[in-house]
A and B are shown apart, each in its own frame.
Chain A
Amino acid sequence: MSEDTAAPRPYTLVAELTYRCPLRCPYCSNPTDWARRDDALATEDWLRIFREAEDLGVVQLNLTGGEPLVRDDLEQLVEGARALDLYTNLITSAIPLTRTRLAGLAARGLNNVQISIQDVSAAASDRIAGLVSFERKLEAARWVKELGLPLTVNTVLHRDNLDRVAEVITLAESLSADRLELANTQYLGWALRNRAQLLPTREQLDRARDIARAARKRLQGRMEVLFVTPDYYAEFPKSCMDGWGRRFLVVSPDGLVLPCHVAHTLPGLTFDSAKTASLGDIWRGSSALNAFRGEAWMPEPCRSCDRRTIDFGGCRCQAFHLTGDAAATDPVCSLSPQHGLIDAAVAAAPGATPRTFEYRAR
């Protein structure tokens, strides 16, 4: 979202409606203990959260999970979002979808549908999803376009499918996708557990990036092609969530208000519940949201770095899960004193065997 002012204002609400999902992808970013968490928020809670979010400045709403379609109040939620003039994006595995249900959601004002496709063949895609799902996804993607809705295809990239980026692009073109997200795995949650199996080589990555770049140029104006570089191979960290508690609000299925979908794995932070307080009060007053806002928390080399207003020190969750300190410089940064952790992971990955995943629990 292009924006120039410094004050925190959320533009996007990521509503994680449930952690339940029919898929079992080994890179799922949901918490690894998700099965112990309940969907705590009722329809009225979500509708109030949407209103309070819009009041704070939110204009984009991502309905996600888990699999948002497992909630039978999704129609009501889309209707509520429409009444608030929010741009509503359904992020789905497409598995529980029917054409009739999709038509109903479109009629209630859904703006965009994002479908995950794990690979370009049924065998490979289903292996990652842990479920026979590939053909159903393609069918659902065709319904999206037939019903006149914009389609985003999202494919998470890793060592086993990165060499097929050209085929992924062809598949997305054949589905008339409006946007293709080629998102390299972020190594948090289940993906960190499976990192040795998922991390690609630098050569693979360079080839894939060149292919994506050429496609972006060729398809300009027809299909937006986004290639998210894996930060393990970048010189500098990502501007994670455009900065902590700055542009994004995430509400988890258990009602916690988070700066990103992984932040509740950080120890020592108390996240407030949207069930018991207003989003506005939480956005402004939450000790956890304030913990890494601005620059006061930054250690060196971030504190004196010219890039501190570009990447905000990188990802707090990655910093914690790799170094044990959430306030450390993101170790993917080449300037981080702990960058050796990344070099070691990269050096270890290509030879790693056996190639069996630890699947997300169902």
Chain B
Amino acid sequence: MISAGTRPRLAAKARLRWDRKAERWMLLYPERGLVLNPTAADVVQLCTGEHTVDTIVEKLAEKYTTQPREALEQEIVTFLGRLAERGLVSDHGE
């Protein structure tokens, strides 16, 4: 479902919010919320429908330099897969 060329775009029902009580990001949608780690929050912010998964990995590899690129890519693809299953991102196409 999520591949290198996918251009993920956040669904209308999902909203990113800073949780100042616990100092972390949350992704809110009807009746639910996902707690995000910093990488996941960065990914969500790049889910504009403009960037491919490849580009997102590239951008975050520049930020998280200590993490091996393959592991980072794996983490991002898995996370986006979870979001897609919940209808929180869709492919914005070519």
Contacts and interface: CB of A to CB of B under 8 A. Distances in A.
A178 B87 contact: yes
Provide the main secondary structure of the chain A interface: loop
Interface in B19-34: 19, 21-22, 26, 28-34
A150 interface: yes
Nearest to A152: B30
B87 A1 contact: no
B86 A224 contact: yes
Contact of B13 (A57, A111, A221): A111
25 contacts: A1-B33, A2-B33, A2-B34, A9-B21, A11-B33, A59-B26, A60-B28, A60-B31, A85-B17, A87-B15, A87-B29, A87-B30, A89-B31, A111-B13, A111-B15, A111-B30, A112-B30, A148-B12, A150-B29, A178-B30, A179-B30, A220-B85, A220-B87, A221-B86, A222-B87
Interface string B51-92: 000000000000000000000000000000000111100100
Contacts of B29: 87, 112, 150
Nearest to A222: B87
Contacts of B17: 59, 85, 87
Contacts of A178: 11, 13, 30, 87
A223 B87 contact: yes
A2 B93 CA distance: 31
Contacts of B84: 221
Interface string B25-46: 0101111111100000000000
A149 interface: yes
Nearest to A224: B87
A59 B31 contact: no
